[in-house]
């Protein structure tokens, strides 16, 4: 029989993402609904090691569903990567009489949770929070939808100035290993080309494509570049290459950077976070552990943490085809 859970802890780890606060709120209020105590862990695994806990109830999370970032803060922890550090974390949880842990973060955070469970048998449950949408076991990670809307809003504004001055803009978006943000926002923003890690367009083909666009009557162009794109060393090298091999465009670069992680979460992310928090807490209360909650076919489902960590998300081939057609 699984141990009866009387107190849960929740932490956020890794890069922040819009919707994390909404997920914290959901975890805390689901605990209150089931008469389970809840504590927030400040500064991720670093705070877990130091026992930096604060009791939370339904009223302590009011007014945060619309806020970006994370009220629990986030921090990288080198010490938690060691057996000694994880022992300190376990001792801190035991001292606080915590029976289970909800981890909101990405694959690095889940890897730490999985190892922690394997070493100490401590119940853990993951909620995927990352704007990159690069976690297997969910169609959407927390923050992805908000980041898409943030990027599209920026593209719309940049296109105004591109059109006014006959400019070619390279816009870099986040996506070190995957191109989900670039592909979706490129289509939504009407980009002429979308450069992603999964597809190597090649410099010559890029120039040919831009030349065709100009000959078809386009006087300005937008190219969306995922930061992990393999064509050039960086987006500025792309600019220099196009400058040297094309005439007629004033080429500019815009790197959106960390603004993509900020801002109030979208309606979709707020609802998703609320659903994930409920599922995470109730799954732990049912005796389940080592899972991540995710959205699959519009339902909340559980995926083993090991699968979520080791799996690799795939780019949507239909969206690639749509992108090619729309750039005609």
HSE of 180, CA atoms in CB hemisphere, 13 A: 20
Backbone angles phi, psi at 307, to 5 degrees: -70, -40
CB neighbour list of residue 211: distance below 8 Å, 6 or more residues apart: 246
Query: What number of other Cβ atoms are within 10 A of residue 196's Cβ?
Result: 26
- Rg, the chain, Cα only: 22
Q: Would you call 132 a catalytic residue per the annotation?
A: yes
Q: ∠ CA(101), CA(105), CA(108), 5° rounding?
A: 100
Say which of 16, 52, 107, 132 is annotated catalytic.
Answer: 132
**In Å, how far are 57, 127, 169, 309 from 149, measured between CA atoms?**
32, 21, 19, 26
CB neighbour list of residue 232: distance below 8 Å, 6 or more residues apart: 203, 238, 241
Backbone angles phi, psi at 260, to 5 degrees: -70, -20
Q: Which residues are catalytic?
A: 132
């Amino acid at each position: 029989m699984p141990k009866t859970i009387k107190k849960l802890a929740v932490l956020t780890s890794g890069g922040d993402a819009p919707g994390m606060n909404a997920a914290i709120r959901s975890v805390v209020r689901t605990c209150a609904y089931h008469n389970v105590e809840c504590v927030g862990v400040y500064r991720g695994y670093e705070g877990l090691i130091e026992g930096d806990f604060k009791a939370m109830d339904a009223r302590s999370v009011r007014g945060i569903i619309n806020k970006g970032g994370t009220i629990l803060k986030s921090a990288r922890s080198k010490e938690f990567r060691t057996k000694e550090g994880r022992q300190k974390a376990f001792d801190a949880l035991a001292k606080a009489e915590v029976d289970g842990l909800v981890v909101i973060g990405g694959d690095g955070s889940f890897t730490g949770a999985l190892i922690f469970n394997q070493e100490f048998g401590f119940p853990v449950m993951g909620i995927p929070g990352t704007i990159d949408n690069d976690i297997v076991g969910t169609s959407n990670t927390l923050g992805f939808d908000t980041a898409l809307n943030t990027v599209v809003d920026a593209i719309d504004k940049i296109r105004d100035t591109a059109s006014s001055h006959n400019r070619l803009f390279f816009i870099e978006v986040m996506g070190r290993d995957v191109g989900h943000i670039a592909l979706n926002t490129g289509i939504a923003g009407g980009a002429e080309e979308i450069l992603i890690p999964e597809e190597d367009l090649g410099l010559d083909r890029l120039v040919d494509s831009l030349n065709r666009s100009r000959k078809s009557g386009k006087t300005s162009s937008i190219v969306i570049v995922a930061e992990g794109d393999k064509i050039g060393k960086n987006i500025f090298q792309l600019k220099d290459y196009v400058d040297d091999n094309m005439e007629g465009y004033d080429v500019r670069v815009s790197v959106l950077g960390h603004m993509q992680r900020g801002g109030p979460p979208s309606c979709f992310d707020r609802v998703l976070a609320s659903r994930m928090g409920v599922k995470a807490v109730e799954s732990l209360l049912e005796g389940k552990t080592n899972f991540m909650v995710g959205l699959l076919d519009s339902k909340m489902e559980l995926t083993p943490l090991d699968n979520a960590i080791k799996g690799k998300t795939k780019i949507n081939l239909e969206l690639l085809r749509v992108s090619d057609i729309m750039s005609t």
